[in-house]
Chains A and B, each alone.
Chain A
């Protein structure tokens, strides 16, 4: 039983951390042979027959589209089909892998959840098949039965440290070894009892200083077939906000329904462009940036609109729409919480 790391083992931790972060962020092409061998081994560990076919795909989107559609084509009744997919995934997950997401994986997951079909980046073949409502249903119901591959690298980083650095052979180590091989060699995997689809790694990956997906010049993460996710400091934005940013309406920085997207729009077009496009006057500025600045703007369809530009506890700046009769930033900020100014201004902290 391993109870304590030696100093030599502890000294290896930073190197091991950096090694696995590099694996998770790699934009090298998938190692298909290595991925196939590891995946077949994982099926065996899970007491399943090896898949008859392992299909490489260019992106996670294609992997999770092709898998459910192939399953549909195999002609299994719907309920049984879903049960099979679920059981394979849960068996593999329980027996081989654990799920630990990082920010990149969450953003890709979120993008697929919100915008699963992104024409024209999907394949023409799948485009045709997805015309059928049965295929759309199969995709919607089952795409989520995926394994994260390199995006779930954190568990393999943890367990492989004990196995490889500490030379600790724990029970089921052979399963962990093959899981780590699978993690290192590919991206998303959609396992099925008969086959598996395996995605390539991304070819583009841009992050900000905080490690969040971020690019103002193109997709923040993209695969070789062109499918990708556009993000501003971790907030996923529509692709045309970046690809055609000269056509992005600056008023979205003030009026978009979601404040995070409002902030992203302001960063893309720049506050100078927003203020140049929408004539704005400062009504009141509080000394405390967390109370903010009250602005008045004559929007084309709403003259005399007022906005509070305010810093939140994380240091980020947001714009909130406030009533046109507010006279001070303090009054406007208190209004957003439906508080009197007297109670509001006593606040202990803002996080």
Chain B
């Protein structure tokens, strides 16, 4: 399992990027949905976060969300084959760490669209 360093450099898990950031944006809104799915897949192979001290924050941008992690959590890819390795998120000696989640996009005639898989 990969343990993410909380120094702001990104780790990629398939079509999403995750990195530690210093603060939540002002317009972020807390989601109470369970399980914490950070990236829905058209074919059901979601990327989910497993851990007790995790909250998901959404933004107006469809490809941008945030996680607040207190303690330990794991970002998992729910597919039985060609599975992307899990990523361990750990607030370490801090009360919490904020992670930015970016979904991958691609070019389209209208500008861009989210990568569908």
Complex: how many Å from CA A337 to CA B101? 10
Measured CA separation A302–B107 after assembly (Å): 12
B44 within 8 A of A: yes
Q: Is A234 among interface residues, defined by CB-CB distance under 8 A?
A: yes
Residue pair B42, A258 in contact (C-beta under 8 Å): yes
| CB pair B115 A320 closer than 8 Å | yes
Contact of B82 among A314, A347, A349 (CB under 8 A): A314
- Mask, B74-115, CB within 8 Å of A = 1, is 000100111111110000000000000010111111000001
* B116 cross-chain contacts in A, Cβ below 8 A: 257-259
Say whether A63 faces chain B, with CB atoms less than 8 Å apart: no
A347:B43 contact, CB within 8 angstroms: no
Residues from chain A with a CB closer than 8 A to the CB of B42 are 258
Task: Kindly list chain B residues whose C-beta atoms are within 8 Å of the C-beta of A321.
Answer: 106-108
**Interface class of chain A by DSSP:** loop
Given known contacts A257-B116, A338-B102, A313 and B107 CB-to-CB distance under 8 angstroms: no
Residues in A neighbouring B85, C-beta threshold 8 A: 313, 351
B10 within 8 A of A: yes
Q: Is A270 an interface residue (CB 8 A)?
A: no
A349–B11 touching, CB < 8 Å? yes
Interface size grouping (class) on chain B: 35 or more
Contact of A338 among B5, B15, B63, B86 (CB under 8 A): B63
Taking residues whose C-beta sits less than 8 angstroms from the other chain, chain A's interface range is 35 or more
A323 lies within 8 A of chain B by Cβ: yes
Does the CB pair B84–A347 fall under 8 Å?
A: no
Evaluate whether A337 and B107 lie within 8 angstroms (CB atoms) in the complex, with A110-B44, A258-B116, A313-B13 already known. no
A351 contact from B14, B80, B81, B102, Cβ within 8 A: B14
- Counting CB contacts under 8 A, is A103 at the interface? yes
B9 to A336, Cβ gap below 8 A?
no
In the complex, chain B residues whose CB is within 8 Å of the CB of A306:
107
Interfacial chain A residues near B84, Cβ < 8 Å: 312-314, 351
Contact with B along A208-238 (1 / 0, CB 8 A): 0011100000000000000000000111000
CB within 8 A of A322: which of B43, B82, B106, B117?
A: B106
Closest to A332 in B: B107
Determine if A346 is an interface residue (Cβ-Cβ < 8 Å): yes
Distance to closest chain B CB from A335 (angstroms): 8
Complex alpha-carbon distance, A324 and B109, angstroms: 11
The interface residues of chain B lying within 8 Å CB-to-CB of A343 are 8-10, 19
Interface residues of B (CB under 8 A from A): 2, 4-5, 8-15, 17, 19, 42-44, 63-64, 77, 80-87, 102, 104-109, 115-117
Other than the given A259-B117, A336-B104, 11 more pairs (CB < 8 A) read A110-B43, A258-B42, A258-B117, A316-B82, A320-B107, A338-B64, A348-B9, A349-B11, A349-B12, A351-B12, A351-B86
